[in-house]
Amino acid sequence: MGNEVRGTIFDIQRFCLHDGPGIRTIVFFKGCSLRCIWCHNPESIYKRKEFIYRANKCVGCRACELVCDKGVHSFCRDKHLVDYKKCNKCGRCIKVCCYGAVSIIGYDRSVQEMMDLIRTDIPYYTSGGGVTLSGGEPMFQPQFAINLARAIKNEGINSCMETCGFAPSEQLEKIAPYIDLFLYDYKVTSEVMHKKFTGVSNKLIIKNLGLLDSLGKKIVLRCPLIPGVNDSTDHLEGIAKISNSYKMIKKVEILPYHRMGEIKRIQMGRVESLSTVSRTSEEQKQKWLCQLKAYGCTAFI
């Protein structure tokens, strides 16, 4: 089994009621081709394993400083300082921290190891529940995603995949037979603005949306909306238009912006930020929904 394809995962959430129907197990893949400035899961962007420090859990015992020979941890006036660039992910500090203040994000798993865990959840997959592949972007690790989706399908388990759609069309076509529902991100209508906010063009994304539609795959269009960033009139009109252009788009789901990604960025020593953007209010969300309805979009969750 030395040539077995293994995947890099950063989290597995069980007994979830979102990201697909029924009770679900969510598998979060590490790695993504997009660089969305509003990313809610910054720990998912890179496939490599990463170090995270949670200051709210640190009691200042300095055990990490004593075992680290790279100088990652230091204390100044009882303030815990972390030099993320020096960390080689050896895990010594994690072994001596009794409070969960430090950890490594990302671990490798085989399809068999994933299926062993998934099978224990099968009794809870009532009312159409099952497994959702999420991320990051599952298609950033295409062969592992395809192999895992096939194994899930072979067990007769409902499968969903959350995707940004930025992947080679042939890879998406290979995984399509094993996915019951695609949760498909639609982030920005304008190609120019899509490049600005995500780092890539949206041409391939729209092409792949058409591909899945032609294959008869059920699709939920998921639209993250960030106040003052991508909630323009042009984009809202674009959401309405595209939702009515493909017969397999069954629902449109609005994903309002929240600030949880900001906390993770700080914990990971990242500097990029949307700190000037506030959490979306319910009033703002309702305003967006009214606008979308006015533009002819009716397929809401």
Cα 233 from Cα 52, distance rounded (Å): 38
Q: What is the pLDDT of residue 272?
A: 63
Sign of CA dihedral 70, 76, 82, 83: negative
Cα 93 from Cα 103, distance rounded (Å): 8
On the question of a cis peptide bond just before residue 136, with omega within 30 degrees of 0, the verdict is yes
Q: Which residues pair with 73 in a beta bridge?
A: 82
Q: What is the pLDDT of residue 57?
A: 96
Sorting pLDDT into bands at 50, 70 and 90, what band is 276?
Answer: low
Tokens 């498909």 belong to which residue? 184
Say whether pLDDT at 27 is over 60. yes
What fold is seen in the domain 6-47+106-262+276-294?
A: TIM Barrel (3.20.20)
212, 218 Cβ separation under 8 angstroms: no
CATH class as words, domain 50-105: alpha beta
- The domain spans of the chain are 6-47+106-262+276-294, 50-105
What are the structure tokens assigned to 290, written together? 């009214």
Alpha carbon 245 to chain centroid, angstroms: 26
Write out pLDDT tens, residues 39-91.
889 999 999 999 999 999 999 999 999 999 999 999 998 899 999 999 999 99
Cα 83 from Cα 106, distance rounded (Å): 19
Write out pLDDT tens, residues 133-150.
999 999 999 999 999 999
Q: Phi-psi bin for 3: left (phi > 0), alpha (psi -120 to 50), beta? A: alpha
Write out pLDDT tens, residues 104-123.
999 999 999 999 999 999 99
Say whether pLDDT at 2 is over 60. no
Q: What is the pLDDT of residue 1?
A: 47
Write out pLDDT tens, residues 159-175.
999 999 999 999 999 99
pTM for this predicted structure: 0.91
How confident is the model over 195-201, as a mean pLDDT? 96
Write out pLDDT tens, residues 254-275.
998 877 778 888 888 886 656 5
